Amino acid sequence: MRNLLTLSRRELGAIAFAPSSYWILGLFLFVVAYFFRLALVAVGGDISQSYRSFASVVYFQLLLCVVPPLLTMRSIASERHSGTFEMLMTAPVTDRQVVLSKFVGAFAFYAALWLPTIVIPIALFQFGAYPDFGQVIAFTIGLLGLGAFFVSIGIFTSSVTSKIQAAFFLAFVLNVFFLFGVAGLAWLSPSEIVRDWSSALIIPQHLDEFARGIVDVRYLVFYVTATGFFLFLAVRSLESRQWR
Amino acid sequence: MAMNPAESTNWGGRDRRRLALQVVVLVLVAMVFVVGTNMLAKHLLTRFPWMRADLTEVKLHSLSDTTRGLLESQQPDADITVVFKSLGQTRSQVTAEQEALARLLDLLGEYRLLAPGLNVTTVDVDRDPSRARDIADRLELRELQPAEVSRVVVEAGGRRRDIPQAAWVSIDYGDGRRPASIVAFPAEDALTSALVHVLDPTPPEVHFLTGHGEGDPDAEDPAHGFSQARELLEQIGLEVRTLDLAARGEVPDEAAAVLVAGVRSDFTKAEAEALAAYFRRGGRGYFLLDPGVALPNVRELLRPYNLTLMDPELIVIDSKQHPIGADWDELAIKQGITGYHPITESLSMTGRRVHLGRSRPIRRTVVDTTMSPVSLLKTATRERDLSFLMRLTEDRSVRVRKVEFDEERDYHDGLEFDLAFAVESPGSEGTARLVTFGSSSFASNARIRMGANQQLFVNVANWLVDREFRLGIPPRTDLDRTFVMTEENDRKYLLLFVAGIPGLAALLGIATWVVRRR
């Protein structure tokens, strides 16, 4: 546990002292605020509807696919690329601790990206509107759940290659597949059973539900288990150096 | 403990294959675990409703206990067809309609989660005309006018219930300056009622009394027609009949309730006795009694239930004692829904008003101490500086000019008068239930779709036929959450969120960069 905390602190420190983190944060907040304003205008100022409208915009969904790989692409791949990976591996830490600390660092930064957006409904309240804070909390829970899933995919892809661009691209493709491809497969499938089961994996539908103010434990179970699965794959990927 | 990478070269080919196989097996086991856990979560949802939490402030997406109970206990197999046709002319009207449709489909999704046997089909007449034609043929909707096409059709076991659009959503189509918006969304009430109807092969009968100028359940006349009330009763799964007491001599046993809608002459003694006998057996009565009609026999009929009809002149006067009107609607029954009774409990929370029209007050008197009528509606006022004078005589001359309060004849006791009561009484074959309103106009075609009238009318009917479980489904109405995008508000938003906070983050980045360079 101590090793994990030390490694996680190292990861978070690296993020906090990197100027690029703040530039990514600024750019991210700009894009989110701008798209939210467009959504707000599109639904005539109805804040409740604007969350649903915002969550359904393709640009926003693409942003969700792009940001986690940007945060994770360097996590293991760059250590391999720069040669510090071997040094890390000689330290008295397990592969699992390495993967988890990378995940904690990237996920904490992802959560930090969304944190300032909670200011939007608070400020709208100050401006005289009346947002539904339950809906805001549900939407934030959904974004964090999905973020954990996509960050774990990024950690996994970063663990299988030493090329940063390849790690980003692979993670992006997987994210797009989970975000849009699964829905396509569900709709195309002739089997009622497949359609029924895969409907629970359609992420745009999850986002819509969270944006309505609903927290469905099934979706959280999916995100937690899928996150665990990709982190498990990342650990196995690191271990594979022993027998490859 | 991690192994030095250099050690990996010591593995032999056989060991490598064994380890690779081990990893493949582990990955497969992990996949099975992930899929199994998710399947289990999906399966458990129907058993543990808390697994789907509605965090919205007004529980906008939560099914009522009534609906939940029905779906969980009966697990109905039913076909629900949503036929939608836009009537909107402007963008805001179409947006409001689309939002209503989206909310309906969301709601049906909630139903399906608890009752997977519900088969939902949606057809948008404008977007998919050929499919709409097929469905319209099957449902025999082809002859309807465009405004009547939008509806939800619920079918099960050969029974069918149509829910017209007006019954599941109320849209204010706005005007040039005011955008269209959803005023009320009583879809859950309408859907659950329809399901109850199609699942119940023997619906209770409500008999409209005739013979004394009562409102006609088939008449379209706005003021004294009750065709819309009839439609509503049928929508909640009741059979509507008419009953001429003078001809028949008694209330038939199959009558679950009798409805007296705005009589224009009094019942004969024999008719009143037939009704009294019916109530003594445990019958149910729905009285809508307008003012200005002398009803001594009806008054006698209600007396044992501790109710006394009054027939006063109402005069609204200003602080200088000048009469300024006699409009009961000015008394704004908004705060007047009492909420003391299951009929009005859910309504009192919605804040919507009842448009009662001219009404006669009803007094609680004590004839039988075992009976306790519960007030459903009271007058209330928005204009606190006005005074109200109740003149308890038929003398209408007070309308002219100066009003003088007469201690002997007049009633001037604050602003509260009871306008409707519900009462129960033990009968020989069951419990009698009577609901009496001092007005029939709230249920007339002209007023029944206004405010909370429709819900009140339906709630009374459900209570009378022992469907208390239907009384707790208030319309789903969210608070107004509009952020008015004025030029100033837009500027504030852009400055703070699009420029301010992102700019601050960028400045922090620059500061970090400068510190690191040092």
ipTM of the complex as predicted: 0.84
Is pLDDT at B241 greater than 90 in this prediction?
A: yes
Residue A29 inside a domain? The answer is yes
| Separation between Cα atoms, residue B130 and residue B126, nearest integer Å | 10
Q: Which residues are CB-neighbours of B406 under 8 A, at least 6 positions away?
A: B391
- Is B51 close to A218, i.e. CB distance below 8 A? yes
For residue A121, the enclosing domain spans 2-239
Mean pLDDT lowest for which of B89-98, B108-117, B174-183? B174-183
pLDDT of residue B474: 60
Q: Confirm or reject contact between B495 and chain A (CB < 8 A).
A: no
Is pLDDT at B416 greater than 70 in this prediction?
A: no
Higher-confidence residue: B354 or B269? B269
Stretch B90-109: mean pLDDT, rounded? 83
- Is B505 close to A229, i.e. CB distance below 8 A? no
Q: Calculate how close chain A gets to B384, using CA atoms only, in Å.
A: 28
- Is A221 close to B95, i.e. CB distance below 8 A? no
**Alpha helix positions (H), B325-397:** 342-348
**What would the pLDDT profile of B384-410 be if each residue is shown by its tens digit?**
434 444 444 333 443 434 455 565 555
pLDDT of residue A91: 73
Stretch A221-237: mean pLDDT, rounded? 94
pLDDT of residue B142: 72
Is pLDDT at B205 greater than 80 in this prediction?
A: yes
Is pLDDT at A198 greater than 50 in this prediction?
A: yes
**What would the pLDDT profile of A119-137 be if each residue is shown by its tens digit?**
888 888 888 788 889 999 9
Is pLDDT at A185 greater than 70 in this prediction?
A: yes
Stretch B46-58: mean pLDDT, rounded? 78
- Rg of chain A taking only CA atoms, in angstroms: 19
- Domain residue ranges in chain B: 59-197, 203-470
Q: Work out the mean pLDDT of chain B and round it to a whole number.
A: 79
| Separation between Cα atoms, residue A46 and residue B451, nearest integer Å | 23
| Separation between Cα atoms, residue B151 and residue B189, nearest integer Å | 15
pLDDT of residue B67: 83
Q: Which CATH number fits domain B203-470: 3.40.50, 1.10.3470, 3.10.180, 1.10.10?
A: 3.40.50
Please tell me what DSSP assigns to residue B266: P
Residue A212 inside a domain? The answer is yes
DSSP, collapsed to helix, strand or coil, labels residue B379 as coil
Would you state the structure tokens that stand for residue B276, as one six-digit string?
């009294």
Total tally of structural domains belonging to chain A: 1
Residue A244 inside a domain? The answer is no
Among partner residues B45, B504, B505, which is closest to A218 by beta-carbon distance? B45
| Separation between Cα atoms, residue B206 and residue B463, nearest integer Å | 12
pLDDT of residue B335: 40
Q: In the CATH hierarchy, which top-level class contains the domain B59-197?
A: alpha beta
Stretch B168-176: mean pLDDT, rounded? 79
Minimum Cα–Cα distance from A240: chain B residue: B20
Q: Calculate how close chain A gets to B13, using CA atoms only, in Å.
A: 9
User: How many CB contacts within 8 angstroms connect chain A with chain B?
Assistant: 200
pLDDT of residue B338: 67
- In this structure, are residues B235 and B262 in contact, taking their beta carbons and an 8 Å threshold? no
Q: Confirm or reject contact between B54 and chain A (CB < 8 A).
A: yes
Selected residue of A99, A122, A208, A242 to mutate for chain B interface (largest B Cβ count, 10 A): A242
Phi, psi dihedral angles at B308 (to 5 degrees) = -125, 125
Is pLDDT at B99 greater than 50 in this prediction?
A: yes
Q: Which residues are CB-neighbours of A98 under 8 A, at least 6 positions away?
A: A7, A76, A88, A89, A238, B2
Please, what sign has the CA dihedral across residues B381, B383, B389, B393? negative
Residue A228 inside a domain? The answer is yes
